[in-house]
Amino acid sequence: MTPLATLGFAAAAFGLALGSSIASTNRPVKIVAFGDSLTAGFGLPASDAFPVKLTHALQDKGIKVEIVNAGVSGDTASGGLARLDWSVPKDADAVILELGANDALRGVDPAVTHNALDAILRALKARGTPVLLCGIYAPPNMGQEFVHAYRQMYVQLAQTYDAILYPFFLDGVAGRTELNQPDGIHPTSKGVDLIVAGILPKVEVLVAKVKAGW
């Protein structure tokens, strides 16, 4: 066997061992929910935050997870990049990445947001950490070109880094008064329930990816 073939075999074996170790120890899959106020649970009791409700939803299906809330209200994609190393520990099995909403609201150049998200995804891929990338839609009043750039950004990044894509984190919630707090931006507890229900199948794929050794 050539040195390169040996190296490839060893890498594959390591991946299988990693996935099997999670299954064999039956330990929870550690997921870091890395985002802004939508992840952090702005305006809600801690028990109603997205990571907590997602944990309960997965546990109800018999899936053991530990979801760390690494959401910071007001954070941008660039801010997330700056805190990546201390917000997402090396022992994280997977990451749910939800950043870009504040960029869109503030009219940040899509190229700046793209570059920051690209750097985050590149770093996580280098670690061998699978990612569920949550897309964000820019407000329509920002103009068609701006809106299109933000939508396509997440699609392109997911393809480049083999990330699982959930196209719009606020799908079914955005624009619905009864599911949002008075600011019209942050979801209520019921809004979070709808977000969790929508994203749950994608998170199950993420967990399966971890257990398979990615």
pLDDT in tens, 127-174: 999 999 999 999 999 999 999 999 999 999 999 999 999 999 999 999
Q: What is the pLDDT of residue 8?
A: 42
In a domain, 46, yes or no: yes
The whole-number average pLDDT for the span 25-50 is: 95
Is 11 within a domain? no
- Residue 24 within a domain: no
Count: domains in the chain: 1
Question: What pLDDT, on the 0 to 100 scale, is given for residue 12?
Answer: 41
Task: Calculate the average pLDDT of the chain.
Answer: 91
What does pTM read for this prediction? 0.89
Q: What is the pLDDT, as a whole number, of residue 26?
A: 80
Q: Is residue 160 domain-resident?
A: yes
pLDDT at 4 over 80: no
**Looking at the domain assignment, is residue 41 inside a domain?**
yes
In a domain, 7, yes or no: no
Mean pLDDT of 65-74: 98
Write out the residue range of the structural domain in which residue 169 sits.
30-211
Q: What is the mean pLDDT of residues 54-70?
A: 97
Tokens of 22: 């999670």
| Complete DSSP assignment for 117-175 | HHHHHHHHHHHT--EEEEP-PPPGGG-HHHHHHHHHHHHHHHHHHT-EEES-TTTTTTT
% pLDDT > 90, the chain:
86
Residue 59 contacts residue 96 (beta carbons within 8 Å) = no
How far apart CA 162 and CA 176 sit, in angstroms, is: 32
Report whether pLDDT(3) > 50: no
Q: Is the pLDDT of residue 11 over 70?
A: no
Instruction: State the average pLDDT over residues 18-43.
Output: 83
Q: Give the active site residues.
A: 37, 183, 186
User: Does some domain include residue 25?
Assistant: no
Cα–Cα distance for residue pair 209/201, rounded to 1 Å: 13
Looking at residue 77, its pLDDT comes to: 98
* pLDDT confidence of residue 162: 97
CATH number of the CATH domain containing 166: 3.40.50.1110
- Residue 75 has a pLDDT of 98
Convert the pLDDT of each residue in 97-125 to its tens digit.
Answer: 999 999 999 999 999 999 999 999 999 99
How many Å apart are CA 8 and CA 42, to the nearest integer? 45
**Within-domain flag for 4:** no
- % of residues, the chain, pLDDT over 70: 88
Residue with tokens 């070109």: 145
